[in-house]
Structure 1
């Protein structure tokens, strides 16, 4: 295999010959969808796939961001609960307040589970 350009500067992409790939309309639409999910052009997506480079979906990054926000909310709620329990020092709390706090925790846990399952499917 000849490497005539190994010691030279790489040429801009528009100056190198393209590779043609014959696809049906359905295949092209699917590849375009996958490229869009990864935040890449068709060309960049196909090049990455052809070179076996990892292709990450931009949706994965959005899911991670969403999970980080929910995790922050969980931390704040847990901090409030800890402060509340420390201030009460065994005095207890109204059952309705405890139930409301637990409902908040359950809602956040449900959201976290949903986000993690969405990320797993990507």
Structure 2
């Protein structure tokens, strides 16, 4: 697993990794919003943090293998829309586009509308619809 403490966070904010998604992936903080969880999950895909991906997935919808796909070079995350998912909400939706390259160099993207809920007081990913 790659770490990026002094580098800009891969989730697309202008913050350093150590002040953005880093504390979430390290378990030092929990996401305050559904969008923050979405961004941290994207970063987990980028750096290959399979444990974080599994831990941030709802217990009822988590697959047996929640690991990031191999051979994918995640390039950029764009948040298109958010609905609810704030610090005081119980549910939220985040629509995003994640650009990537495959092992053979082909460019592609994932456009998803993801659902999030609070489970045991913290945001978790439930499911997503590919758009």
Q: TM-score, normalised by structure 2?
A: 0.21
Bigger-Rg structure (1/2): 1
**Hey, which of these two has a bigger chunk of strand by percent?**
2
Given the two structures, how large is their TM-score scaled by the length of structure 1?
0.23
